[in-house]
Amino acid sequence: MRTTTSLVAAIAAVFASATPAHAIVGGTEAPATPWAVALTDANGQLFCGGALIAPDRVVTAAHCVTERSAVGGRGRAPESIRVVAGRSDLRVKGTSAKVASVWRHPAFRDVTGGDDVAVLTLSEPLPQAPVPLVDADDTASYAEGTEATVLGWGRTAEGAAPSPTLRQVSVPIEADSDCANEVQGFRADGMVCAGYPQGGKDACEGDSGGPMVVRGKLVGVVSYGKGCARPGEPGVYTRLAAYRSRL
Ligand code: ARG
């Protein structure tokens, strides 16, 4: 019994030391951020992130609520989505909110085409304070070099496991002209890129739908990227100011 316990402890220690010190990719443990939500299936399995913008409304990515297998991309059923708010560690048991309805941007086809935004209306309001949305006419938040914070429970490296706790990373907004050279199909009217030319810091799989914040306002949604944190491959985010009137 004793041997078993110490063996378990030893194995746990090996795993603990193997856990990357940096995560999202290149990030750190996030402070308490109650409006940052995890989207899980009915079994509690994480599939995306989101942000609470009103007590009963969550902004996420359209691709997060699209059934991948279906040709044309059918919407994910609201009953199959749970919203976890006010909790950093997803291993800790707690309550989650149910979704009454899903709005997906009607023009969304796939991430590379843009319009990757959706709004979930919850069955009941949540007690957590929502995050303010960017103004429709805010251009300063998308200016080159602006530091943006991205949050999520996604992978901490390409091929690594998602993080059980909420992580965050700070990345600079890229000039639209630079992004247009790097990302095929880039549309400045609905997308914005962020990241370092040398890579190293980025969102990754599982962070999709999650928040990008500038000066306390929600300015973007994690949409896609080629791999994670690769040099010359910025993260692509939905430019929320462009969709402000629909949210
Ligand atoms: N599409 C991914 C997801 O579903 C997130 C992509 C973000 N990738 C990146 N390199 N910024 O979770």
* 78-119 pLDDT per residue, tens: 999 999 999 999 999 888 999 999 999 999 999 999 999 999
Work out the number of other CB atoms within 10 angstroms of the CB of residue 9. Answer: 10
Query: Cα 153 to the chain's mean position, in Å?
Result: 8
Quickly list DSSP for 150-177. EEES-BSSTTSPBPSS-EEEEEEBPPHH
Annotated catalytic residue, options 63, 96, 163, 176:
63
Pocket probe for ligand 1: among 110, 192, 193, 222, the residue whose CB has the most ligand atoms within 8 Å is 222
Output the pLDDT for position 184: 94
Catalytic residue among 88, 96, 141, 208: 208
Residue 72's domain comprises 7-20+34-122
Q: Is residue 134 part of a domain?
A: no
Q: Is 117 found in the same domain as 12?
A: yes
pTM: 0.89
Same domain flag for 231 and 160: yes
- Which of 93, 122, 151 terminates a domain? The answer is 122
Round to whole Å and give the CA distance between 84 and 224: 22
Nearest of 69, 64, 68 to residue 48 by alpha carbon: 64
CA–CA dist 221, 1 (Å, integer): 49
Ligand 1 center to residue 122 CA distance, Å? 24
pLDDT at 222 over 80: yes
Distance of CA 66 to the CA centre of its chain: 15
In a domain, 203, yes or no: yes
Q: Tell whether 129 is covered by a domain.
A: no
- Predicted local distance difference test score (pLDDT) of residue 8: 41
State the pLDDT confidence band at 74, using cuts at 50, 70 and 90.
confident
**Atom number in ligand 1 closest to CA 228:** 10
Q: Is residue 152 within 8 Å of residue 167, measured between CB atoms? A: yes
Task: Determine, yes or no, domain membership for 180.
Answer: yes
Which of 42-51, 60-69, 102-111, 196-205 has the lowest average pLDDT?
Answer: 60-69
